[in-house]
Amino acid sequence: MGRCEQDKKNAEDNSEVGSYNCPSNRDHRDSSRRAHHPNEIYVSPTVMMVMRHSERVDDCCPGWIEKCNKEGKYEPFDLNMPTRLPIQRPLKDYTRDTCITRSGAVLAQMIGRGLLMTDNTPDVIYCSPSLRCIQTATWVREMSGSKALLRVEPGLFENFHYPHGVPRFISQLQRHVFPVDKTFRPFLSLETVVGKQETNDEYNARIQLILNAIADQSEVSTVEKELKVLVVAHASTVDMAVGLLREVPRKIREEELDNIAIPVPYCSLAYLKKKCNYWVPAAHQVPSVTYEFLTTKYNHYFVHRT
């Protein structure tokens, strides 16, 4: 028996402790037993697309909070800044949880259109709780034609040291302006993620845990299909997805995190296909976006290092 066949047999033999046995899916499974559809089956992801968020305002307009604050009222001073802020909250809350630019919204839309053109419309979408990730995922979802609601997963948040405190993320109530799945139960709570300063090893372990949980998460379907999952998070997430999900995992080092945005620019996307119990990058599955001095292509030599 080959390795793939053995893995499949093991998954069948251990269905009660398999990937589907998480709290939210147990609830769904129990309710499904009460009203079972004869054609319902469980399908697991075979394609995972992990991308970085789009262009952030504070990168383009340093000190934008102070400059745009006119007696407590937001007034953009650059045409690339949003005409109005995406949610109503104190301006200072945007300091550590910034929004995306107008060109950033266009860039995210182009990625979404690329997914639609290449028949890669995501069936499931996860994103980091950062506002820029939620915004990016929303635009990609809309332009790709996906019907999936956004699953906001705190465990996908990046690991950066915030000298002035952790970001004040948007609340459940403030999320109502975005197509967020209100029934989704995260794998990790926000309190668990931001409750302490992580070491680099702990950060690698957390992202590996979350990505594997996403990869193992079965979904209910009425047809046998290739389940495609989109994860919208941070530059380091893209690099770690390629490194941590392969047959021989590779961690990201602490010194590599400092300038990770250079080899993994805005809206970079890693396209991974499942092979047995690990994931393999597949090139040229989704077109990149290129301007004269900008590209969404990640640095192949850096991300695919050993």
- Residues annotated catalytic, as ranges: 52-53, 234
What whole-number distance in Å separates Cα of residue 250 and Cα of residue 161? 23
| Distance from the first to the final alpha carbon of the chain | 30
Q: Would you say 203 and 104 are in contact if contact means Cβ atoms under 8 Å apart?
A: no
Q: Would you say 111 and 87 are in contact if contact means Cβ atoms under 8 Å apart?
A: no
Burial 30-46 (b: 16+ CB within 10 A, else e): eeeeeeeeeeeebbbbb
Q: How far is CA 151 from CA 155, 197, 205, in A?
A: 11, 24, 21
What whole-number distance in Å separates Cα of residue 111 and Cα of residue 13? 40
What whole-number distance in Å separates Cα of residue 269 and Cα of residue 266? 9
Closest to 235 in 3D by CA, of 261, 198, 262 = 261
Q: What is the enclosing helix (H) or strand (E) of 269?
A: strand 269-275
